[in-house]
């Protein structure tokens, strides 16, 4: 790891100013990906701007039928929040299965979403729940946020402040996790609000994506059996030492069925 300076602003304005002070300044949330990357010299910077002391970036609240979560809220806080468990129990369950205890106590929802790891859990939640990503300069709809592997719509110096999750009628998440990392080899999050159904796959491709064939089938009949004759084209899926693309394609449908079962069970 190359030497760098560390700044700890106490407000969003100070954080934005610090990030704009030079070209090679990076924001630090939980650091679960960034710090190992710096240690391996896969990335470098002149300074890190630690966002952990910015109070505007923390907190969980329910505003009508919208669940609001600050970007620096840690995974364990989401998992254990009574507000989240009541409003969107599947989101609390998702947070409880991220990584291990150390990761959950340090990692943040904003850091995970901004990083957009192909196998991360939170991007699936943001996309399936049609959340809004509120930054210091604008509000970005989920459908326009995730661009590609480790790539989002965020501009340099732009900071995620909070997420606004519309509360669905029902939602469920299921993933087949790597036993070592707990990352998803394939994970599927489904949500239904009124007649609208969204289904999102993570872990299988270079970025989280909506599975429209699954959505259409579940819009007609929100039951696991509705997916019996549905498949997802795995031609663009990832293949690695953990699973090849065809296996991930099979897992995606299996996880989609389990996600529907979970959504129905949580709605009872």
Averaged over 159-179, what is the pLDDT?
97
Q: Are residues 32 and 132 in the same domain?
A: no
pLDDT tens digit sequence for 197-227? 999 999 999 999 999 999 999 999 999 999 9
pLDDT tens digit sequence for 107-155? 999 999 999 999 999 999 999 999 999 999 999 999 999 999 999 999 9
Question: Does the reported pTM lie above 0.85?
Answer: yes
Q: Are residues 13 and 72 in the same domain?
A: no
CB 94 within 8 A of CB 107: no
**How far apart are alpha carbons 197 and 180 in whole angstroms?**
32
Q: Are residues 138 and 14 in the same domain?
A: no
Averaged over 57-68, what is the pLDDT?
98
- pLDDT of 43: 84
Q: Are residues 96 and 127 in the same domain?
A: yes
| Paired tokens of 163 | 């997420």
pLDDT band at 44 (very low <50, low <70, confident <90, very high): confident
Please give the order of strands across the beta sheet that includes 170-177.
Answer: 170-177, 184-193, 196-202, 209-210
pLDDT tens digit sequence for 17-37? 999 887 789 899 998 888 888
Q: Are residues 216 and 109 in the same domain?
A: yes
Q: What are phi and psi of 87, to 5 degrees?
A: -80, -50
Averaged over 9-13, what is the pLDDT?
96
Q: Are residues 39 and 89 in the same domain?
A: no
Query: How many domains does the chain fold into?
Result: 2
Segments forming the whole domain that contains residue 246: 57-267
CB 164 within 8 A of CB 132: yes
Q: Are residues 43 and 64 in the same domain?
A: no
**How far apart are alpha carbons 78 and 121 in whole angstroms?**
13
Q: Looking at residue 71, which CATH number applies to its domain?
A: 3.30.465.10
Q: Are residues 10 and 129 in the same domain?
A: no
Q: Are residues 140 and 244 in the same domain?
A: yes
Q: Are residues 80 and 212 in the same domain?
A: yes
Q: Are residues 147 and 36 in the same domain?
A: no
Q: Are residues 63 and 149 in the same domain?
A: yes
Residue 130: left (phi > 0), alpha (psi -120 to 50), or beta? left
């Amino acid at each position: 790891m190359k030497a760098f300076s560390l700044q700890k602003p106490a407000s969003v304005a100070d954080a934005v100013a610090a990030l704009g002070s030079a070209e090679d300044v990076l924001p630090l949330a939980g650091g679960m990906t960034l710090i190992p990357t710096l240690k391996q010299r896969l990335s470098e910077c002149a300074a890190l701007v630690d966002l952990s002391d910015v109070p505007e970036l923390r907190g969980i609240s329910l505003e009508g039928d919208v669940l609001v979560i600050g970007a620096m809220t840690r995974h364990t806080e989401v998992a254990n929040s009574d507000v989240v468990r009541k409003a969107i129990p599947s989101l609390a369950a998702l947070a409880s299965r991220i990584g291990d205890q150390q990761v959950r106590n340090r990692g943040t929802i904003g850091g995970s979403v901004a990083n957009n790891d192909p196998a991360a859990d939170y991007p699936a939640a943001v996309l399936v729940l049609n959340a809004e990503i509120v930054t210091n300069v604008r509000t970005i709809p989920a459908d326009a946020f995730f661009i590609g592997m480790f790539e989002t719509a965020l501009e340099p110096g732009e900071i995620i402040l909070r997420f606004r999750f519309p509360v669905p009628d029902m939602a469920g998440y299921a993933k087949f996790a790597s036993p070592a990392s707990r990352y998803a080899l394939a994970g599927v999050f489904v949500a239904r609000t009124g007649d609208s159904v969204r289904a999102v796959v993570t872990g299988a491709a270079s970025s989280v994506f909506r599975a429209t064939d699954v959505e259409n089938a579940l819009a007609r009949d929100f039951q696991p059996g509705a997916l019996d004759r549905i498949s997802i084209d795995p031609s663009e899926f990832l293949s690695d030492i953990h699973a090849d693309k065809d296996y991930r394609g099979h897992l995606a449908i299996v996880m989609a069925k389990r996600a529907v079962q979970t959504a129905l069970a949580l709605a009872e």
